[in-house]
Structure 1
Amino acid sequence: MLRLLVLLLALANIGYFAWTQGALAPLGLVPSVQTEPQRMTTQIRPDAIRLLTPEEAREIEDNAAVPRRPASGASDAVSSADTPAAECLQAGLFNEQQTAVLRTSLQSALPAGSWQFESSVEPARWIVYMGKYTTEEAMAKKRGELRQLGVAFRTVNNEALVPGLALASFPLQADAEKELARVAAKGVRTARVAQERAETRGQILKLAAVDAGLRAQLDTLKPQLEGKALRACP
């Protein structure tokens, strides 16, 4: 009985295989062919289809996530990022006479409202000072000694103290006295506290919004700035 069942299963498999291959077509036993040729006519350039790499797929996703700015005419063709932003600049301090001369030049050269003067105070400057030295060789020797002690220094800006060295600067004399004691403990013996600059009151020139056009106009006013550079507002 078992052999007969195995034989029947084998014959059934052989018959199914012959049917699927069309071997039984003369007997009218042909499997139905399911095709949709009309789909081939609707394909557009199937040969151009290719798989994206992971990097290309991520780039497409990133571009899709960036919001696009709606077009609003030819004036939007140039991005605002291509136009330098206006900046606030100032220069000074100017004394009363300098301010008067500069004010006259500004009134004739720059648009009204683009500039103004503001009262300001430049604080006094006290320094830990070494000098005056009689020769350049003496000052060079002192520079070498300070380097060996690890003490920073600079040249002074007060003609009455030149040639000399400033080891530190402070707006208050008391702070300069404290620094003098500190460097003395490091081995500096001949320093003293001196006033490099007295407190000064005057006017600051301030230009709140300087664009490229205004900057070009400012170049013509450099001689009236008394060598004081324009710098960014604090």
Structure 2
Amino acid sequence: MLRLAVIALLLANAGYYAYTQGWLRSAGLAQPEQAEPLRVQQQIRPETLKVLRTQGTTAAPTPPAPPATAADAGASATAAAAPAADAGECLQAGVFDEKQAAALRTAAASLPQGSWTLEPTPITGRWMIYMGRFDDQDTLDKKRAELRARKVDFDRAGGMLELGLSLGRFSTEEAAQRGLTALNAQGVRTARVILERQAAPGFMLKLPAVTDAQRQQWLATLRPAMAGKTLGSCG
């Protein structure tokens, strides 16, 4: 029974293959042709077909910019050439003691509010290795010659310490004493350490934004109270 089923299946496959290959056309058993002329004949009223274009939304074209005029070009050139506003320069001077700071406050009172400050800046003490005070200029000159021979640096003591010589200035007494010990080793015997300046409150004058137009007028106002000090750039 199984053999008959296999034989029937093989015959069916062979018959279908012959049918698709057109071998049974003479017996009136042929697969319909799908050639192009046949497809055209099968069309129904093809003349009524129309191709429609989809109407999409498009952005409106951007109108071209109007040509630049001579006036526009001149205005642009003027804007480019215009200088930046003068923001002013920060200037400062000091250090001033309390008495000098009081004089500065009085002088600066006529300047615009907020245009100046006196910032606290402590004045540190200073010690000097001092030699003197000498009786006359001849004695001073002889001592200078001795120091040069020993290759010891010196300068004028200045102020109330004339006629005298400074062999060094120091921010602490301990540093000054060490310097004196080194000079003693070089043969210097008559020098001593003195307090040249005591520590005291101090102040720094600051003008945060001085324009070129203000500079001369403000300097003329402040100069008499600046104790010989000059203004320089902040930094």
Shift of the 107–183 alpha-carbon distance from structure 1 to 2, 3 Å rule, reads same
Q: Does 1:143 align with 2:138?
A: no
Q: How far did residue 86 of structure 1 move?
A: 1.9
TM-score, scaled relative to structure 1: 0.60
Unaligned runs of 5+ in 2: 1-74
Please state whether the residue corresponding to 1:169 is helix, strand or coil.
Answer: strand
Q: Does 1:104 align with 2:106?
A: yes
Q: Distance in 2 between matches of 1:211 and 1:232?
A: 13
Q: Deviations over 1:166-213 (max 9, x none)?
A: 111111101000000111111212111111111121322112233323
Q: Given the alignment, which residue of 88, 91, 110 partners 2:94?
A: 91
Structure showing greater Rg: 2
Is the CA contact 2:95–2:121 (under 8 Å) kept in the aligned structure 1? no
Specify the code of the residue in structure 2 equivalent to 1:86. E
Q: Distance in 2 between matches of 1:163 and 1:184?
A: 22
Q: Distance in 1 between matches of 2:80 and 2:97?
A: 43
Q: Distance in 2 between matches of 1:72 and 1:187?
A: 78
Moved more, 83-92 or 150-159: 83-92
Q: How far did residue 128 of structure 1 move?
A: 0.8
Please state whether the residue corresponding to 1:126 is helix, strand or coil.
Answer: strand
Q: Distance in 2 between matches of 1:144 and 1:78?
A: 64
Is the CA contact 1:84–1:212 (under 8 Å) kept in the aligned structure 2? no
Is the CA contact 2:131–2:191 (under 8 Å) kept in the aligned structure 1? yes
Q: How far did residue 138 of structure 1 move?
A: 0.8
Shift of the 115–186 alpha-carbon distance from structure 1 to 2, 3 Å rule, reads same
Q: Deviations over 1:3-52 (max 9, x none)?
A: xxxxxxxxxxxxxxxxxxxxxxxxxxxxxxxxxxxxxxxxxxxxxxxxxx
TM-score, scaled relative to structure 2: 0.60
Q: How far did residue 127 of structure 1 move?
A: 0.8
Specify the code of the residue in structure 2 equivalent to 1:88. L
Is the CA contact 2:115–2:209 (under 8 Å) kept in the aligned structure 1? yes
Q: Distance in 2 between matches of 1:174 and 1:207?
A: 37
Please state whether the residue corresponding to 1:168 is helix, strand or coil.
Answer: strand
Specify the code of the residue in structure 1 equivalent to 2:122. V
| Alignment-derived partner of residue 113 in structure 1 | 114
| Alignment-derived partner of residue 194 in structure 1 | 194
Q: Distance in 2 between matches of 1:73 and 1:185?
A: 75
4+ runs of 1 displaced by more than 6 Å?
A: none
| Alignment-derived partner of residue 181 in structure 1 | 181
Moved more, 85-94 or 189-198: 85-94
Please state whether the residue corresponding to 1:121 is helix, strand or coil.
Answer: coil
Q: Deviations over 1:141-171 (max 9, x none)?
A: 1111112222111111340x22111111111
Q: Distance in 1 between matches of 2:82 and 2:187?
A: 64
| Alignment-derived partner of residue 203 in structure 1 | 203
Q: Distance in 2 between matches of 1:85 and 1:172?
A: 39
| Alignment-derived partner of residue 129 in structure 2 | 128
Q: Deviations over 1:92-144 (max 9, x none)?
A: 3131x443332232121x22222101112111110111101001111111111
Please state whether the residue corresponding to 1:111 is helix, strand or coil.
Answer: coil
Percent identity of equivalent pairs: 37
